[in-house]
Amino acid sequence: MRVLVTGGAGMVGSHVSELLEARGDEVITVDNFTTGRPEHLINLIKADKIQVSISNDNLIDELASRYSHINAIVHTAASFANGNDWSDHINTNILGTALITRLAQKYNSRLIYFKLLFAMALIQPLSQCHWIIQDNQWLLVMPFLRLQANFT
Ligand SMILES: NC(=O)c1ccc[n+]([C@@H]2O[C@H](COP(=O)([O-])OP(=O)(O)OC[C@H]3O[C@@H](n4cnc5c(N)ncnc54)[C@H](O)[C@@H]3O)[C@@H](O)[C@H]2O)c1
């Protein structure tokens, strides 16, 4: 299976990429190294490693010229380290994610998204277990377990 991992040089993306390559998948990583590090990619022997922003308009054409198919996309690229950099948050998390969604549609590939939590939080900073209001519903969120329970 050919899998594209966005944010492949980041914490989640590099571990996912290594696990995929170890089980025999063909991995393509995409990262612009804003918070990720090139050394996170050294254990990936066979992967194609592309340095580009996911919000780059040419990304879809560039990938289309190289790959006839992509079976799955694991989307972990995210901007959150610098809480004040709203421009980068919007470029990466909104425009970039929209572009990655278009890419998944183009290839008809499965999309797995390690999403940031955009919500009105009652407690700052967020703890490992907290309540939020989202779409007029109460949610109990445990981000590190990737668990959300819905209380309406
Ligand atoms: N690390 C955790 O414990 C954890 C827990 C829950 C959720 N998550 C979520 O998983 C996602 C990834 O988290 P992480 O800890 O791996 O973060 P990370 O900063 O280590 O990885 C994000 C990667 O995305 C890359 N990136 C940022 N902007 C980019 C862009 N425009 N184009 C291409 N690459 C770009 C960075 O260079 C980095 O390599 C985030 O959405 C985070 O909220 C992480």
Task: Please report the pLDDT score of residue 86 as a whole number.
Answer: 83
Distance CA 2, CA 104 (A): 13
Tens-place pLDDT, residues 6-52: 999 999 999 999 999 999 999 999 999 999 999 999 999 999 999 99
Given a cut of 60, whether residue 100 has pLDDT beyond it is yes
Structure tokens at 42: 């050294």
Sequence ranges of the chain with CATH classification 3.40.50.720:
2-116
Question: Which residues make Cβ contacts (< 8 Å) with residue 90, sequence separation at least 6?
Answer: none
- d(CA 138, ligand 1 centre) in Å: 26
Using CB distances shorter than 6 Å, the residues near ligand 1 are 6-7, 9-13, 30-36, 53-55, 76-81, 92, 96, 114-116, 143-144
Q: Average pLDDT of the chain? A: 85
Tens-place pLDDT, residues 45-78: 999 999 999 999 999 999 999 999 999 999 999 9
Topology of 2-116 in CATH? Rossmann fold (3.40.50)
Structure tokens at 20: 């995929």
Band of pLDDT at residue 152, cut at 50, 70 and 90: very low
Task: Please report the pLDDT score of residue 19 as a whole number.
Answer: 95
Band of pLDDT at residue 151, cut at 50, 70 and 90: very low
Task: Please report the pLDDT score of residue 115 as a whole number.
Answer: 73
**Degrees, nearest 5: CA angle 66-68-72:** 100
- d(CA 20, ligand 1 centre) in Å: 17
Task: Please report the pLDDT score of residue 140 as a whole number.
Answer: 58
- Ligand 1 closest atom vs CA 143: 6
Structure tokens at 120: 């009105």
